[in-house]
Structure 1
Amino acid sequence: MQSCNQSARCFVPNFFTPLAVICLFAMLIITATAHAQSGLFQQDKQSLRFQGDEWLVHADAARGYTSLQVNNGEYLHADDTRGGFAYLCDNRWFTRFPDRSNLAHDNNVGRIGIVADGRYMVKIAPSWTRSEFDLTFGANEKLDQQAFMFLHDDVLFVRAGANVIAQRVANTQLITRKTDRPVKARELLLVHKNGSAIGLRIVTTDKPDKTDKADKEPPVEFSAGMFTDPAGQKRLAVMLPTKGFAANTVNVVIDATPRGANFVLQPRFDVISSDDPAENIGGNAPTQGVKNPIYTDRTTLDYALTFSWLGQKNFTGTAELEVVHSLGQRHFYQQVKLDAAEPSVDPKDNRRSYRVAFQPKFSMPGVSEVWARLYDENKRLIWVDRYRMAYNWHEYKPNIEVQPDFQAFWADTLKQLREVPLEPESKRVFEDHPTFEIYHVQFNSWQKKRIHAMLYVPKDRAKPLPAVVTAHPGSRGFAVNKGPDGLYGSRPPGDPRFVTIQPLLRGHAPDAPDIPFNDPWWGPLEDRDTYVARAWYCAMVRAVDYLAERPDLVDIKRVVARGGSQGGALAIVTAALDPRIAYCIADCPSNAQPREIMFNYPSFGPSSGQVPAGKTADETLKMLSYYNPTNFAALIRCPTYVGSNIGDITVHSMGPLAIYHNLVQLKPDQKDFYPGFSHFHGSGPGLHKKANEIFELLGGPAPEKPKKK
């Protein structure tokens, strides 16, 4: 039987000399050390070091952290007397951190690096899974301090602003070595000349003082700018006010990838239209750098994309403009290469400004998405933005999908509704309200379902009065707030010249504690005859029936159907089904053109995900065509006015535009469409102005608003 040594010799060739064995063991030790150094703090008598993915930090035996490198680019400025971090307390600098440790009392052992001097501490705790770390400043000191991070000369500038780490190309403040005074912010982005970046975000400054006074203190902010260092030199730095006896923590996000987005500042559309208004009216303020997004074939445009470039060399990427109709077809595209473009240069911060001109030509009436994109020299997307525009909207021809028995279906529905006795009831509530007599009303509706409604009757006005019928599925009850002192803090949703009725379509009582939930966007979509909108539309007609039963209060010849969003759709339907409506005002009506909502422009309305099991999308869309507000528009005989912001991202304006174009029974002077300019949910000021004209026509001049005391 062989010994262990004899057995080993059997596997060692003759050429495996002692020198080769020594080299092999040395290589194994080096490899093991290299693996150990990655992802853990390594400490020896002279230093403390952590190697992350494309970043590292290093502290020496006396000065603390002297290096923070990302993609081989240095971020910290250190000299012979200090590292990159220092404390200032009571006009005295603390720059020496001879104590070092990588120990912890939990499973983060080896993942925490601390430098300290017995009083002041700087701790770095890298994330296990992300390229980031927590940077904590702490002091065994009652007095508050200022913690400084001095930046290397290769850090070109600092960007400051809310959410600047995630949205770095936004309109953020820029801090350079020529910035006059420090800038305060909760988030900063440090940009290196190699294209990498470090984000700083305040996590918390734990307050040892838990008094009410501490809770009322303003949030802690960085200050970034030029500061005097301990040697008396002006340096670009970041300062964080820190509390004594507290953990003052900053989240540090490492972005090692060289990005053109780090060097782009304030990119935006720069569009001058021959149709731009002389001044902003109401809510029609410029959107995305576009003052007026409504064009015709007679509009002349000075169309450009502008941005500033903060890199050390000229920008050599590309810019592009794409226009895609809301129904999916592209009708303009242009790309501009900027290799030879000559920018204007601001000598103060070496900022290069570009204005890229485009020559757009539009061909499709309706609403389109306008996309602008900016790519760097590596074809990496560094900025994108969009806005909606309308082109020749007067000429748009919507696709109308209406079933042959549409009118017969609703005639039969109304016939069945009329066979149900109204049986109205009313009870006065909030009897001491100063402006309105307020009633809780009930009546029978579709299939004898009891509907609750709110009725607001103006006090101190001669009756009968004109009336408004309005509703929204989201309404929960009386918009009346009465305080403990007996005073009313809000006015209910009613014009003091009009009686207003508002049915609660979901069948609950006003302000009920348990309000039934309907599936989103008026689902479920199982069956035409049981679809919830059938009962809702009938409830709107029944609300008018109730007004007709109250000649002591209401002049039934002066009734306005009005609403916004889902309420705008209900106003259109009410005007279509009830000839007693004198005027219809629909602000951004929703749920119109369900096929387009499903497949072209996601918006408020049924989605393809709601198609019932066992049904096709076409079958579901056929069912929805019986409830499409666009189809009801063709039945309306009273003056009707529709509005929508072109950029509305809640209710796409193609739906309201289709409703307007299907008002086929109305003369041009009996209808209008009022496009707004912004991306907010609603309409421009034109529709509201028209509504005021109608209300004055029916109810007289608006009463003066009480002056604020």
Structure 2
Amino acid sequence: MALFDLPLDELREHRSESVAPDDFDDFWSGTLQEAREHDLDARFEPVDTGLSTVDVYDVTFAGFGGHPVKGWLRLPAGSSGPLPLVVEFVGYGGGRGLPHENLLWASTGRAHFTMDTRGQGSAWGGGGGTADPVGGAPAYPGFMTRGIDAPENYYYRRVFTDAVRAVEAARSHPLTDATRTVALGSSQGGGITVAVGGLVPDLVAVAPDVPFLCDFPRATTLTDRHPYREIGLFLKTHRGRSADVQRTLSYFDGVHFAARGRAPALFSTGLEDQTCPPSTVFAAFNSWAHEDKTIELYDYNDHEGGGPYHEAAKVRWLRSYA
């Protein structure tokens, strides 16, 4: 697919039409306060992986509603002191995978925490193990319309809360340095990263790659690819509910979390990305509040973005922060 979105000079100026609800901050502070009424109860069980350079721990902690959420903590083998911490969130449909997967960040000498995404982990990769015990109103198959009838019920309220608690759980391990915490992820993981960047005030850096869940008003009308298309298919059946749906989504739009971002940021986008169109990524990047921000462009790439090239770019970039 050739370039289909706005020209680059317009991308650099693009702003979302999404308007933050007046009670956006109260909604999220109240949500997190409710979650913190449950004991975090972070447990780290060592896993025998046969790996000699990385130690792996099977993690369980209390997320939204006190529900158990899984994760992996990977540490350089034999670590004895607090390490810079990378907390990673995964893409749509994926889970935390298997303990021997995803060894890059531990191989750089950092602690690496990967959060499982509740209810997901069955579409690709090594799977996941976290249920979503909360029901919701009728929804098109997938996750984008689960509980979309109201912000209090929406699926990503639970996921973003899990993500904040994941940072807290990872920081509770004695070999992690809470003062040098980085959040990152790709696609859905990038969207979760943007949300965490707006909800956790003391991160040292964030790196959202080709982030999903940004600029909903544009994304839902520009691309017909899934997962955004799930919303259109829901509205195709539930006629006349567009305004209600966009109101719910406004509480979860990355552009509003970005406006509250307090850490240096490295974004990325593929200019041929039809899954998370570049204008939606630029909407979040242009709203990012911290002045130390960079976006890497991959001119001829779709949703794969920079792939291993961008992983190398992140490794170089993070040397300045953690």
Query: Which category describes the TM-score, using the shorter chain as reference length?
Result: 0.7 to 0.9
Aligned residue type for 2:315: N
Q: CA 1:457 to 1:643, structure 2 compared with 1: closer, same or farther past 3 Å?
A: same
User: C-alpha displacement at 1:661, in angstroms?
Assistant: 0.9
Match of 2:40 among 422, 427, 439: 422
Give per-residue Cα distances to partners, 1:28-48, cap 9 Å, x unaligned: xxxxxxxxxxxxxxxxxxxxx
Q: CA 1:508 to 1:597, structure 2 compared with 1: closer, same or farther past 3 Å?
A: closer
The alignment partner of 1:637 has SS state of coil
- The 8 Å contact of residues 452 and 503 in structure 1, kept in 2 or not, is answered as yes
Match of 1:599 among 195, 216, 221: 221
User: C-alpha displacement at 1:689, in angstroms?
Assistant: 5.4
- The 8 Å contact of residues 480 and 492 in structure 1, kept in 2 or not, is answered as no
Aligned-partner Cα distance in 1 for 2:82–2:183: 18
Aligned-partner Cα distance in 2 for 1:450–1:466: 25
Q: CA 1:602 to 1:546, structure 2 compared with 1: closer, same or farther past 3 Å?
A: same
Count of matched residue pairs: 305
User: C-alpha displacement at 1:506, in angstroms?
Assistant: 1.2
Aligned-partner Cα distance in 1 for 2:28–2:240: 24
Give per-residue Cα distances to partners, 1:306-349, cap 9 Å, x unaligned: xxxxxxxxxxxxxxxxxxxx7xxxxxxxxxxxxxxxxxxxxxxx
Match of 2:212 among 576, 590, 614: 590
Give per-residue Cα distances to partners, 1:572-591, cap 9 Å, x unaligned: 11111111311010110012
Match of 2:189 among 554, 559, 567: 567
Give per-residue Cα distances to partners, 1:165-224, cap 9 Å, x unaligned: xxxxxxxxxxxxxxxxxxxxxxxxxxxxxxxxxxxxxxxxxxxxxxxxxxxxxxxxxxxx
Aligned residue type for 1:636: G
User: C-alpha displacement at 1:638, in angstroms?
Assistant: 0.6
Give per-residue Cα distances to partners, 1:392-451, cap 9 Å, x unaligned: 433333323211111111111111122111112221112532121111111111111111
The alignment partner of 1:428 has SS state of strand
Aligned residue type for 2:44: S
- The 8 Å contact of residues 451 and 508 in structure 1, kept in 2 or not, is answered as no
Name the residue aligned to 1:691: 314
Are residue 660 (structure 1) and residue 282 (structure 2) matched? no
Aligned-partner Cα distance in 1 for 2:164–2:293: 22
Aligned-partner Cα distance in 2 for 1:416–1:404: 20
With structure 2 as the length reference, what TM-score do the two structures score? Answer: 0.84
Q: CA 1:439 to 1:580, structure 2 compared with 1: closer, same or farther past 3 Å?
A: same
Name the residue aligned to 1:679: 301
Aligned-partner Cα distance in 2 for 1:398–1:601: 15
Identify unmatched segments of 5+ residues in structure 1.
Answer: 1-286, 294-325, 327-366, 369-388, 482-489, 700-709
Match of 1:458 among 32, 55, 76: 76
Identify unmatched segments of 5+ residues in structure 2.
Answer: 134-138
With structure 1 as the length reference, what TM-score do the two structures score? Answer: 0.40
Name the residue aligned to 1:4: none
Match of 1:536 among 156, 159, 162: 159
- The 8 Å contact of residues 117 and 130 in structure 2, kept in 1 or not, is answered as no
- The 8 Å contact of residues 633 and 659 in structure 1, kept in 2 or not, is answered as yes
Aligned residue type for 2:26: A
Aligned-partner Cα distance in 1 for 2:247–2:183: 27
Match of 1:625 among 222, 243, 250: 250
Which structure has more relative contact order (CA 8 Å, sep 6+)? It is 2
- The 8 Å contact of residues 647 and 677 in structure 1, kept in 2 or not, is answered as yes
- The 8 Å contact of residues 40 and 63 in structure 2, kept in 1 or not, is answered as yes
Q: Which has the larger radius of gyration?
A: 1
- The 5 A counterparts of 1:248-327 are none
Indicate the percent of aligned positions where both proteins have the same amino acid. 19
User: C-alpha displacement at 1:500, in angstroms?
Assistant: 1.1
Aligned-partner Cα distance in 1 for 2:304–2:58: 29
Name the residue aligned to 2:14: 396
Aligned-partner Cα distance in 2 for 1:512–1:479: 8
Name the residue aligned to 2:93: 474
Are residue 495 (structure 1) and residue 106 (structure 2) matched? yes
User: C-alpha displacement at 1:698, in angstroms?
Assistant: 4.6
Name the residue aligned to 1:412: 30
Higher helix share: 2
- The 8 Å contact of residues 95 and 129 in structure 2, kept in 1 or not, is answered as no
Computed over aligned residues only, the root mean square deviation of the Cα atoms, in angstroms, reads: 2.8
- The 8 Å contact of residues 20 and 256 in structure 2, kept in 1 or not, is answered as yes
Give per-residue Cα distances to partners, 1:605-663, cap 9 Å, x unaligned: 24222237476111101111101111110011111121101111221111111001111
Aligned-partner Cα distance in 2 for 1:575–1:470: 12
Give per-residue Cα distances to partners, 1:441-480, cap 9 Å, x unaligned: 1111111111111111111444210111112243334434
